[in-house]
Structure 1
Amino acid sequence: MNNTIGYRQGKACILTDDAWELVNADTAVDNLDSKVLAWPGWQEQLEAGRLRPETSAVLLGPDVDPDVLAPWIDRLPLIALQFPRFMDGRAYSQASLLRTRLGYTGDLRAMGDVLRDQLLLMRHCGFTSFCVRADKRASDAIKGLSEFDQIYARSVASPEPLYRRRERV
């Protein structure tokens, strides 16, 4: 996927070697490895035996309950969450639930209307990679992760509040 930011060795960078490709469920593809399919299509392909959870990824729309992925949560290498509009923040809650309640440890990707100003909050909700909107430059957006990296409250990325982290120093 183009315009993708992720973390390598704890540092945010542009992923030039990202192998994941978003495909439409109706698109005829011989091999679904390293493909991202929207939830209904992913489920259909899984039930038909055409994909394996270990080598494919699923895209959840904002109206899909993350609990639907519970049976495969420990086998999915990537879960993508859709931000259909800048003002639709349901994927923040989905990310937090995937990390805290379901214990997901793989790559959690933000897709859709993803902009620089959102990246820090997305990171603290548990996202580890971000597909920046096509009309924006990933090189500019990455600054949203590097300029500010601390928040006061506890989060998925920083389970202790800032004052507790400072006490240890």
Structure 2
Amino acid sequence: MQIIKDRQLLENTWTFIADDIPLPENGDITVTLARWLADKEQLLKRSGQAGVRLNPSDQIEPLAGDLSNIGVIELNFPIFGDGRLFSQARLLRSRDGYQGEIRAVGDYLPDQVFYLSRVGVNAFEFADPNHIQEALAAMNNFSVRYQASTN
């Protein structure tokens, strides 16, 4: 499956592993925040990178000391109307200085891609591959910006 990363189409090399599934020995994986906190040592010893999937209700402060070990942070939108993840992305970039990939996943709209990129999201995964071209076009919807951003 393709994703948009830094305004380019790339193949997705990451797999989300649910809490009730054993960790694979290799490969790039993401896990929930709860699993990261519980199994961090095991995750860091594996072959392959580890990432964290955040939900809107997750607190990002427990990750502050671990950001250099996290290859990707996925922001999981359960519904497109929940804006808390926009704030999480902004804080990760501006307050915490996270330089890695921040990826939007879940139920968000291609029209939100421009705004998500303004707060620090640099990668986008869509369940419906038809949204990819629409999202790429949406990144250029506005030529004038009034507010400062992370990009």
1:32/1:114 CA distance change after superposition, 3 Å: farther
Q: CA deviation at 1:95?
A: 0.5
Q: CA deviation at 1:138?
A: 1.2
Match of 1:44 in 2: 38
Which consecutive segments of 4 or more residues in structure 1 shift more than 3 A? 146-150
Residues paired across the two proteins, number? 149
- Cα distance, 1:150–1:107 mapped onto 2, change above 3 Å: farther
What percentage of aligned pairs have identical amino acids?
28
**1:14-70 deviations in whole A, cap 9, x for unaligned?**
212x21111212112332541011111222221xx3211882000111111111101
Kindly state the Cα deviation for residue 131 of structure 1 after the two structures are TM-superposed: 1.1
What TM-score, normalized by structure 2, do the two folds share?
Answer: 0.88
Contact 1:114-1:133 at 8 Å conserved across structures: no
Whether 2:57 is the aligned partner of 1:58: answer no
Larger Rg: 1
- Aligned residue identity for 1:22: F
Map of 1:13 onto structure 2? 8
Q: Pick which of 100-109 and 142-151 moved more.
A: 142-151
Which residue does the alignment assign to 1:113?
107
Residue by residue, what CA displacement relative to the aligned partner does 1:96-154 show, whole Å, maximum 9, x if unpaired? 11111111111111111122100000000000101124374312221111343542211
In structure 2, stretches of 5+ residues that fail to align are none
Two-structure CA RMSD over aligned residues (Å)? 2.0
Q: Which moved more, 1:143-152 or 1:66-75?
A: 143-152
1:115–1:133 contact (8 Å) kept in structure 2: no
Q: Which amino acid aligns with 2:44?
A: R
2:62 to 63, 68, 71: 68
